[in-house]
Amino acid sequence: MFVGKSLTNIRILNDLSRNQLAEKIGVTEQAIWQYENGYVSPKLEVVNKLKTTFKVKSSYFYNDDLLKKTNMNNINVEHIAYRSETINSLNKSQSESMHVRFIDSFLKKIETKINYPKNLLLELRNETISFLRNNSNMERDTQINHVAALAREKIGMDINSNKNLLFSLEKSGIFIFEKEIGETIDAYSLWSEENRPYIFLGTIKKSAVRRNFDLAHELGHLLLHYKVEFTMQDKKAYKLLEDEANDFASAFLLPEEQFRKDCSTIVKRSNPDAYIDIKQKWLVSLQAIASRAFKLNIIDYQKYRYFYMSINKNGYKVIEPLDREIPINRPTKIKSILQLLFDNGLYTVSEIMDELKVDQIFLTLLTGIENEFFEKHRENENRTFTVKELGFKTN
């Protein structure tokens, strides 16, 4: 029997309306509605088009999907914190929420065979909530600076470096993924209802230093704005939340005491090129460095204004010095988990594909891990065994 809910979920996962899907597979929008609500079962030729569109097996649509099997509904769309120029549409929020639900269900499925280390970020979030509650009369800037310093200490960041920031965040308990989010969204983050923190990074035109700021910005949301209903905010309130996350990122990435020492030797503070060594040390953009320097009164308004005139004149708005030299780090946590399972024979790629009833490319689209990773492990499943392994011996 065709399971309409499985079609609904995977359609939303792929950010398609009923009308858009109907156009893709050559049926009416009414037909899609009937399939999803169980009034009509699609013909085999339609099912074949659906499986091609969504990179799954035909049997996918005749079974409960991953969400139903794991009984997962612990992602709240209102709690998604977008790093974006605009508040996103409900459709986009539903699509991203569905992606996180699938990811969360996928992790629930595979992690039964492994043990995680202590979730430091959950501890840090609880300490942050306690601090903010007990210091509610403190100025917001002071609160944010305190939480940023606490976060660096708790996560174990080097006192004079942001090297390995992404790895440190993953180690602290955050699950970080890459995906094509869209041109107007840089990243987003949220907590699941079971206290699992997520950060999703966009893949479009990002230098390593800008990605670092995205990571720190989303960390700010995770700590400062737990349970905030982002989709319910008006533009003014939304901007305030974004500004707070930016202030957190700035304080987190450029700790005041060390940053002041770094700037103390700079003679011409209005010249962007004078800060290149600081950029190389902290792996933060020149523009973020200037903003931090201005906020700390290291440079005055006139110097700050001239700095940005030079940024525009030199074309640094698009590409800054060192942007091509500093390597971009990619998330490794989910890949390492799968590697551990595959290497220890606890799971195979084929078993995951068969259980989920999906094609290999679906796993890439879901996790953001390159297709070659799954291809390599599938090839290992079909390797030729040696005579020794078969147990043959000579007389």
One domain for residues 165 and 184? yes
34: CATH: 1.10.260.40
The pLDDT, as a whole number, for residue 229 is 87
The CA distance from 93 to 85, in Å, is 15
Tally of domains in the chain: 3
230: CATH: 1.10.10.2910
Give φ, ψ of 315 to 5 degrees: 75, 20
Instruction: Of 297, 282, 101, 300, give the one whose Cα is nearest residue 190.
Output: 101
Token reading at 157: 């960041």
One domain for residues 182 and 279? no
One domain for residues 273 and 149? no
* Residue 114 falls inside a structural domain: yes
One domain for residues 52 and 94? no
* Residue 221 falls inside a structural domain: yes
For residue 183, the SS3 value is coil
Q: How far apart are the first and last CA of the chain?
A: 58
User: Which domain covers residue 181, as residue numbers?
Assistant: 70-253+328-347
| DSSP class of 358 | B
| DSSP class of 58 | G
Q: With DSSP H G I counted as helix, E B as strand and the rest as coil, what are the percentages for the chain, rounded to 5?
A: 60, 5, 35
One domain for residues 56 and 154? no
* Residue 41 falls inside a structural domain: yes
Instruction: Of 143, 144, 249, 140, give the one whose Cα is nearest residue 187.
Output: 249
* Residue 375 falls inside a structural domain: no
Give all strands of the β-sheet with 81-84 in edge-to-edge order: 81-84, 185-191, 197-202, 175-179
Q: Of the candidates 64, 83, 100, which is a domain's last residue?
A: 64
One domain for residues 280 and 194? no
Burial code of 343-368, b = ≥16 C-beta within 10 A, e = fewer? eeeebebeebbeebbbbbebbbbbbb
One domain for residues 160 and 247? yes
One domain for residues 231 and 295? no
The pLDDT, as a whole number, for residue 87 is 52
* Residue 308 falls inside a structural domain: yes
* Residue 363 falls inside a structural domain: no
User: Could you give the angle at which helices 208-224 and 140-155 cross, rounded to 10 degrees?
Assistant: 110
* Residue 151 falls inside a structural domain: yes
The pLDDT, as a whole number, for residue 393 is 61
Token reading at 341: 């399972």
The pLDDT, as a whole number, for residue 57 is 97
One domain for residues 130 and 267? no
The CA distance from 174 to 333, in Å, is 9
The pLDDT, as a whole number, for residue 309 is 95
* Residue 60 falls inside a structural domain: yes
CB atoms within 10 A of CB 217: 25
One domain for residues 2 and 38? yes
The pLDDT, as a whole number, for residue 77 is 77
One domain for residues 285 and 224? no
Q: Are the C-beta atoms of 38 and 4 separated by less than 8 Å? A: yes
One domain for residues 225 and 151? yes
The CA distance from 264 to 298, in Å, is 9
pLDDT tens-digit map of 314-368: 999 999 999 999 999 999 999 999 999 999 999 999 999 999 999 999 999 999 9
The pLDDT, as a whole number, for residue 95 is 86
Q: Of the candidates 64, 84, 109, which is a domain's last residue?
A: 64
The pLDDT, as a whole number, for residue 385 is 55
pLDDT per residue as tens, the chain (395 positions): 999 999 999 999 999 999 999 999 999 999 999 999 999 999 999 999 999 999 999 999 999 998 887 766 678 777 787 765 555 555 667 888 899 999 999 999 888 888 888 899 999 999 999 999 999 999 999 999 999 999 999 999 999 999 999 999 999 999 999 988 876 678 899 999 999 999 999 877 679 999 999 999 999 999 999 989 887 888 899 899 999 999 999 999 999 999 999 999 999 999 999 999 999 999 999 999 999 999 999 999 999 999 999 999 999 999 999 999 999 999 999 999 999 999 999 999 999 999 999 999 999 999 999 999 999 999 988 765 555 555 666 55
